[in-house]
A and B are shown apart, each in its own frame.
Chain A
């Protein structure tokens, strides 16, 4: 009789712990998904801005065709990207292309003075900042999720149940990876 009770209690405890661990991993994975959709929103917003920007610059500097093509290609590469790592790589190429576009714009005082151009430039800067912010959040959630499924108790079931490690959205060089912060209280 005593043995039965001990076994039942042990089983209940085991199931309880398993349920807790499973729910925790699911919650962390959902946070990663939310984090990614935050980045996606900002990437789309920027991709919507770029055609306008290119048209505006074209109006003043139609013969700088090479730069326009580069920006347009990089933009569609970002839109086509299938994974966070791919999107990250395409994103840094687009950043470089936009840098060249603004360098070209420097040579046209009329363009630089145009209200439309200034507004687009401010919008774009704002979006870049928001992508950077969303990337910080996303990478932090990925770090928490990956650590959870690669460390001991969850490690036992994460693989068989199909929890796969997620990719980071790569930061441009010079920016630090997120660090795990725990609070001693």
Chain B
């Protein structure tokens, strides 16, 4: 798959995510009709769509505040900014994306933003401290690949729109309590409406999972190509693997934006069922893919641990 094909596929998937979002909002509104009547259902529909539109316009900032990221000035950390500038040039981006800092000891990084002019790279202070320049550059190249491949728009949309679906189905649930029991409807109808209300957010979460895994391999490979240094990427992933700390302000909604799973809950240690809810492929597999592409071997894990 070439880069252009990937970009085109991402554009198509972004449109699909938006369509699916609208469908889910309509499903939730229609299901709530059985409980809250016409006015309530129209209200939920309007609120869901309006909030979705707001999320589209402000997706990047929403993710920023969810993860407690703050903008970093060039004078605060010229070295980091230079690395970002160099990687952006090597990747052929038209402009250098701004850098945001998340004050968190766990090493991790992400990229977010829906529109090209509002895209940024987020780095935790833990990553900044832990990584030597060569590996930090590889992590930044991974994030900038996500930007160049247009993954970021898709992933940010998925993150914020999943949140909106979860929120309005929650809202519909609450409203059913105030609205009392559904007037003169049969129990089967009520039951199916209830099932729809429960399934809608779940479907949204599953969609988000399916989106993120394969593109991590792609971003690793792109980063290796941008820097012409697959080993640096593998070393950086190994360093992330060795650090067990979790990012404090990351949850299911934002997990897939990060370079590796920011929380244990989504790292999927729970065996086969865990695999279904993993947002990222295991770091070991990603390192192996880089080793095969680059023709090198990192020392085994036990030796470095």
Q: Which residues of B contact A134 (CB under 8 A)?
A: 89-90
Q: Which residues of A contact B224 (CB under 8 A)?
A: 181
A183 engages B228 (CB within 8 Å): no
Chain A 135-178 near chain B by CB (<8 Å), digits 1 or 0? 01100110000000000000000000000000000000000101
Given contacts A137-B91, A182-B1, contact A129 B82 (CB under 8 A): yes
- Main DSSP-derived SS at the B contact region: helix
Is the CB of B218 closer than 8 A to any CB of chain A? yes
Complex Cα distance A133/B222, Å? 14
Q: Which residue of chain A has its CB nearest to the CB of B219?
A: A183
A183 engages B218 (CB within 8 Å): yes
B225-271, CB < 8 A from A: 225-228
Is the CB of A73 closer than 8 A to any CB of chain B? no
Task: Tell me the count of chain B residues lying within 8 A, CB to CB, of chain A.
Answer: 23
B77-135, CB < 8 A from A: 82, 85-87, 89-92
- Neighbour of B82 across the interface among A126, A140, A176, CB < 8 A: A126
Given contacts A141-B92, A176-B228, contact A133 B86 (CB under 8 A): yes
Give me 20 A-to-B residue pairs in the complex whose CB atoms sit less than 8 angstroms apart, sorted by A's number. A35-B92, A42-B89, A126-B82, A129-B82, A130-B85, A132-B86, A133-B89, A136-B90, A136-B227, A136-B228, A137-B89, A137-B90, A137-B226, A178-B228, A181-B221, A181-B222, A181-B225, A183-B1, A183-B2, A183-B222
Known A130-B86, A181-B224, A184-B1; 8 more pairs at CB < 8 Å = A137-B89, A137-B90, A137-B92, A137-B226, A141-B92, A181-B293, A185-B1, A185-B214
Binding site for B on A (CB under 8 A): 27, 31, 34-35, 38, 42, 126, 129-130, 132-134, 136-137, 140-141, 176, 178-179, 181-185
Binding site for A on B (CB under 8 A): 1-2, 4, 6, 82, 85-87, 89-92, 214, 217-218, 221-222, 224-228, 293
